[in-house]
């Protein structure tokens, strides 16, 4: 994979990560469900959980994860068969929705985040991650559709 592909992964991760953050921040601001707080939560990471970070740093943590995920997906697509390449939007949607489901239980590690049993927060959390996956998939499809 060349540096151009890496930069495309960085760009996709930043754009879609910012959209996810803005979506969840809007849900929290308008409806009061703490899904944005959950997105930025690091209470489950040893050592890091002992520090209080400003919002811009917490968002940066989220964006770093988004960028890494998008680069990994681009690497998988670059090395994979036409089966996944032709279904990249669906693949990204499923992967990122699953990641949202797997991350939601981290809410139990903090008193600042929604309750684990809060079905409405879970709904908005999954909607946000599904939207993120859809957008990542669309951007990846446009990227891999270009000539190499």
- As a residue count, the chain comes to 148
Higher pLDDT, 41 or 29: 29
Nearest one of 30, 117, 132, 116 to 73, comparing CA atoms: 132
Question: Would you place residue 82 in the very low, low, confident or very high pLDDT band (cuts 50, 70, 90)?
Answer: low
Residue 52 pLDDT more than 90?
no
Q: What is the pLDDT of residues 115-141, one digit of tens each?
A: 999 999 999 999 999 999 999 999 998
pLDDT at 100: 95
pLDDT at 147: 47
The pTM of this model reads 0.90
The total of other beta-carbon atoms located within 10 Å of residue 60's CB is 14
């Amino acid at each position: 994979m060349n540096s151009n592909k890496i930069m495309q992964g960085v760009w996709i991760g930043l754009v879609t990560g910012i959209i996810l953050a803005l979506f969840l921040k809007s849900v929290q601001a308008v409806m009061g469900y703490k899904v944005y707080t959950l997105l930025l939560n690091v209470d489950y990471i040893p050592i890091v959980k002992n520090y209080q970070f400003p919002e811009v740093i917490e968002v940066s943590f989220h964006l770093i994860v988004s960028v890494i995920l998008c680069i990994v997906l681009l690497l998988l697509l670059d090395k994979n068969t036409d089966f996944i390449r032709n279904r990249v939007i669906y693949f990204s949607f499923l992967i990122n929705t699953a990641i949202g489901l797997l991350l939601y239980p981290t809410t139990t590690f903090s008193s600042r985040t929604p309750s684990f049993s809060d079905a409405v927060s879970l709904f908005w959390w999954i909607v946000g991650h599904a939207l993120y996956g859809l957008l990542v998939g669309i951007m990846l499809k446009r990227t891999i559709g270009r000539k190499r």
